[in-house]
Amino acid sequence: MSNWSPGGGGGAGGAAPLLDSTLAAPAASFDISGLSLAAYLYVELIAKLRVTGVGQGAGFDHMQLQFNGDGGNNYNFGQGNEDGTFGLGTVGGPTMPNMVLGHATTSGSTAGYYTWNRALLWLPGSADAVKSVRADSVLNIEGTAHQIANMAIGVWYSAAPINRVTVFSGSGQTWAAGSRLLLRGWS
């Protein structure tokens, strides 16, 4: 059930709601197409995520993004975690098929427990040769003292305006029912 309405607004620096989607049943991805983002300086993507399986690590999985269905090696990313770990796509150019920008809670966690992620897509509708993303998330790995506060950056090397956003898990798990994706545009 959505508490946002699509379209208009966003004037005088306010946010224009573009999408609010909550899964009623598990799904392989959030795949949002038909986006028209040329009027926005940036788009904020907010994701409340949980996977149906065990994920990639001890109690977590990764949130990954692709734009316009581009699964080629046209992305790069880097991420730093408050727990002292650091992940890097590659140095020096586009060599990744997606961006790793956040986390997701796994099925072993208490029912109703999700991880929140936020990503800012800069100039998503422009013809600039590079689209930049900054993201953050906080994950508490239940049953441990381990917490991950994640900051990430990503780049998509393409002059095409973004008209499709796909959010999927790093391990290929499906998103659990109750996972949610919101998009808001800022002009």
Contact 105, 116 (CB under 8 A): no
Nearest to 156 by CA among 128, 119, 137: 128
AA identity, residue 5:
S
8-state DSSP, 175: B
What's the first-to-final CA gap in the chain, in angstroms?
Answer: 26
pLDDT of residue 171: 86
Tell if the pTM clears 0.95, that is, is over it.
no
* Beta bridge pairs of residue 42: 122, 186
What is the overall mean pLDDT for the chain?
Answer: 82
pLDDT in tens, 44-57: 999 999 999 876 66
pLDDT in tens, 107-149: 877 777 788 899 999 888 888 888 999 998 877 666 565 667 7
Q: Which residue has the higher pLDDT, 186 or 148?
A: 186
| Domain annotation for the chain: domains and CATH numbers | 18-186 (2.60.120)
